[in-house]
Chain A
Amino acid sequence: MSPDTTVQAPTATLPRNGAAPQRDQPLVALVGNPNAGKSTLFNAFTGARQHVGNWPGKTVDVKTGTVRWDGRPVTLVDLPGAYSLSAHSLEEVIARDFILEERPDVAIVVVDATNLERNLYLVVQVMELGVPVAIALNMMDQAEAEGTVIDVARLSQLLGVPVVPTVGTRRQGLADLLHKALTEARPQPRPVDYGLEAERELARLEPQVAALAPLGSPRHLALKLLEGDKEAMRALGDSSAADALRREAAAAAERIRSVYGDDAVLLIADRRYGYVHGLAHQVVRRSRGQQRSLTDRIDDVVASRLLGLPIFFGLMALVFKLTADASAPFVDWVDVLFNDVLARWAAAGLTGLAAPSWIISLAVDGVLAGVGGVLTFLPVLLVLYFCLAVLEDSGYMARAAFVMDRAMHALGLHGKSFIPLIVGFGCNVPGILATRTLEHRRDRILTGLLVPLMSCAARLPVYVIFAAAFFPRHTTAVIFSLYLLGIALAVVSGLVFQRTLFAHQRESLFVLELPPYRLPTLRGLLTHMWRHSQEFVVKAGTVILAASIIVWALLNLPVGARPEESLFGRGAGAVAPAFEPLGFGNWEATGALTTGLVAKEVVVSTMSVIYVGGERAGEPEPVDIAGDVRRVVLGLGQATLDAAKVVLSLFPGVNLLGDQPVEADTALGQALQRHFTPLSAAAFLVFVLLYAPCVATLAALRAEFGGRWAAFSFFYLLALAWLAGFVTYQVGGWLVGG
């Protein structure tokens, strides 16, 4: 066997005349699953002597070439890769039609020896087409390296077709394959026994099919008719005999359904899989020392029932510790940049331009205090998203979802809700939109009601500022506890809703494809980190900027009024008494919570405008630009050094920080310490975690489930937040007092 030097490839557009073709040289078709090495084998056979064309009317490539065997040229056709011949994809239709219409002298099914069982499913279907079949057991070297031993002779004996081990990349076994294919292959159209009932029906149909369609395999066409294959039905033609056969096939399919309780198409595929499973068991042996993949071995630990949850919570605690500690030096630096340096520069610059005092106040106390107050927490989000990107890009997050979902299910929540709930940790809006993947409306509504209890990233700046100000030694624990509280209340709420508002829906299995573990790349991590944080920056420049200006305006109207007498102060003060039992019944806190309905970050910007902006009244301070720039640059260097110390100190036995707690010491944090106690701060944090969703989330709830459910969510969460805040403050006070 050698590649032909004079290429006599058939035309690229292959004939489809429906009649048995007359050929002056043998025709061999290569069939196989995608990635079974079919094209490698084809290239090894034909070398450069091949031609690529399209199947008539289709855009799928069909390659043809010529190879010389026993002194004669042989045409080789590389058909599109297909997993089955069920004609559900263009590739499957082309592969099937080529074999049926061109009737090749032999079809060589290229089988991936490392995935024998899956590939055998196609083999039996090709055999049923009634053409001679040979099997190229390709990638044998890989299979052997993996410790898989295939009894080739037994496989050949059981199937009744030649089976030749090959390694396409090394051209091993090609000559033997072609020789056996062209000399030993015989049609074996009945590899699978479809069971008593189906075989009885097939026996009735096959003679009628043979009479109507003499070409091709009657058994194949009869099977297709039982499956209700529309193309097979059409292929019978328009005669009265064809109509009678179609009616007979439909009646046969119904009889099978009545016996087996399911469609014939399922029964047929089921028997094929049963056959190839038994076949694989008889011919495949895996050595005991066969190496399991690294992914499997890691999954044995991180996705196990026993260790999965502790590992998940341990990793998340580490993420929050890194987030809170490593970002703290940068938070301080950004705070100095906005609330000190830029504020003084803006005030001095506008004063120099003789701007009216209200413009200066708007710029410094409104815009810079508000937007700057929120952007101060950009480092927090950057570190958080970097850590999450590591978990995501490594493939762990998919396992985390899997592990968490099992826990949720164990607690009675609907298993399929896990993706919307996990997505909700980033932002509640896409979390609610992701409920569309649930098929039942009741599941969608139930999950949608729980998504706002997942603490979205917008609430993180509030946690960080309060935790650093009031619990500097336990920042990580406080933040982590808030996330856990949200999850716990989602579980409780879910259980309550299932027993009251929604009848319990029996759920079914669903199967997750988990991606393999991989080493994240720095470029990928940085891209993820920036994409995740981008929205935060965009929001700071739009929603938060607008909210800060409005809050500033309401705080300064009527002109000259004291803040508590302003429109904002009086409005917020009207509802403040309702929060007295929660420990923060003042207009500043309730005002910030009210504006936080726009977006949860606005809680911080509003407090920043009230507390930080309000404290800056008076003459602008002198500006030393060179000194400020030096301070900013040196501050960034110091922040980087401090952050590195924090990260290194996470390693066991390393302590570069001494006994000092790592905390963000911002202007807003200092102001808050004068207006809250640790207990009222804790109650405030719990309230922020749980209270009514932001307007974007409410709009998503309304769009997805209607106004009544959106209103229910609003009032339910408001009541839950008030109750949880009340319990935190009162029980906490009792415990501290006690």
Chain B
Amino acid sequence: MLRQLLALFQQTPGPVSLELLAAQLDVDPATLQGMLGELVRMGRLVRVEDHTAGCSLCGFKNGCPYLLTTGGVYYALPGSVGCAVVPPAPHEAP
């Protein structure tokens, strides 16, 4: 599942919402969030929440009028998804 997710990060360009990706992978959004969190903890993805992190010199940092309120965005770290291309895994029954 995680390798399938990482392969998607490599193969599919552009943005996708958490809900759409969850539907694509046939998992709950909460489960997908857990998987993404696990990949972040492994250092394979990065989650960016403060999109104006570079504005430390700006006087309006604490009340930025132009901050776009999105939730977190998960990006692949460079070189972190370059491993084997994995075909979608079949459901693994216990």
The interface of chain A, by Cβ under 8 A from chain B, is: 83-84, 86, 88, 115, 117-118, 121, 158-159, 191, 260-263, 265-267, 269-271, 273-275, 277-282, 296, 299, 303, 385, 392, 397-398, 401-402, 405-406, 409, 415-416, 418-419, 422-423, 426-427, 429-431, 433-437, 439-440, 506-515, 531-532, 534-535
In the bound complex, CA of A233 to CA of B28 (Å): 35
Known contacts A84-B38, A405-B15, A507-B13; A118 and B72 CB within 8 A of each other:
no
Pair A266/B51 contact, Cβ less than 8 Å: no
In the bound complex, CA of A711 to CA of B10 (Å): 35
Q: Which single residue of chain B is at the shortest CB-CB distance from A429?
A: B58
Please name 6 further chain A to chain B contacts, defined as beta carbons within 8 Å, in addition to the given A266-B2, A513-B33, sorted by A numbering. Answer: A277-B27, A398-B70, A434-B51, A508-B81, A511-B17, A512-B71
In the bound complex, CA of A88 to CA of B42 (Å): 9
Pair B58/A433 contact, Cβ less than 8 Å: yes
Write out the residue numbers on chain A whose beta carbons fall within 8 Å of the beta carbon of B17.
Answer: 299, 303, 402, 511-514
Known contacts A415-B15, A439-B77, A514-B70; A261 and B30 CB within 8 A of each other:
no
Pair A436/B54 contact, Cβ less than 8 Å: yes
Nearest Cβ on chain A to B77's Cβ, whole angstroms: 7
Q: Which single residue of chain A is at the shortest CB-CB distance from B61?
A: A430
Against A, the Cβ 8 Å flags (1 = close, 0 = not) of B7-33 are 011111111111101000001101101
Write out the residue numbers on chain B whose beta carbons fall within 8 Å of the beta carbon of A260.
Answer: 84
Q: Interface residues of B, CB < 8 Å — how many?
A: 62
Pair A191/B94 contact, Cβ less than 8 Å: yes
In the bound complex, CA of A401 to CA of B68 (Å): 9
Inter-chain CB contacts under 8 Å: number: 213
A296: contacting residue among B19, B28, B38, B52, CB under 8 A: B19
In the bound complex, CA of A511 to CA of B49 (Å): 12
The interface of chain B, by Cβ under 8 A from chain A, is: 1-3, 6, 8-19, 21, 27-28, 30-31, 33-38, 41-42, 44, 48, 51-55, 58, 60, 63-78, 81, 83-84, 89, 91-94
In the bound complex, CA of A409 to CA of B13 (Å): 8
A418: contacting residue among B15, B19, B42, B54, CB under 8 A: B15
A439: contacting residue among B41, B52, B71, B75, CB under 8 A: B75
Nearest Cβ on chain A to B58's Cβ, whole angstroms: 7
Nearest Cβ on chain B to A227's Cβ, whole angstroms: 9
A278: contacting residue among B6, B63, B70, B91, CB under 8 A: B91
A423: contacting residue among B3, B21, B48, B51, CB under 8 A: B51
In the bound complex, CA of A426 to CA of B27 (Å): 37
Pair A423/B14 contact, Cβ less than 8 Å: no
| 11 pairs, A vs B, C-beta closer than 8 Å | A83-B34, A118-B31, A121-B38, A265-B42, A277-B1, A303-B17, A398-B69, A409-B13, A423-B66, A434-B54, A532-B66
Known contacts A88-B41, A406-B15; A426 and B28 CB within 8 A of each other:
no
Pair B55/A509 contact, Cβ less than 8 Å: no
Known contacts A277-B92, A278-B91, A433-B54; A509 and B73 CB within 8 A of each other:
no
Q: Which single residue of chain B is at the shortest CB-CB distance from A428?
A: B66
Known contacts A275-B92, A406-B15; A534 and B8 CB within 8 A of each other:
no
In the bound complex, CA of A158 to CA of B28 (Å): 21
Known contacts A279-B94, A512-B17; A266 and B42 CB within 8 A of each other:
yes
Nearest Cβ on chain B to A599's Cβ, whole angstroms: 15
Known contacts A115-B28, A282-B94, A433-B58; A514 and B18 CB within 8 A of each other:
yes
Pair A266/B72 contact, Cβ less than 8 Å: no
Pair B42/A419 contact, Cβ less than 8 Å: no
Write out the residue numbers on chain A whose beta carbons fall within 8 Å of the beta carbon of B28.
Answer: 115, 117-118
Pair B35/A273 contact, Cβ less than 8 Å: yes
Nearest Cβ on chain B to A312's Cβ, whole angstroms: 14
Known contacts A433-B54, A508-B9; A409 and B15 CB within 8 A of each other:
yes
Pair B30/A118 contact, Cβ less than 8 Å: yes
Pair A510/B75 contact, Cβ less than 8 Å: yes
Q: Which single residue of chain A is at the shortest CB-CB distance from B64?
A: A430
Nearest Cβ on chain A to B46's Cβ, whole angstroms: 9
Pair B70/A117 contact, Cβ less than 8 Å: no
Q: Which single residue of chain B is at the shortest CB-CB distance from A257?
A: B83
B55: contacting residue among A282, A418, A433, CB under 8 A: A433
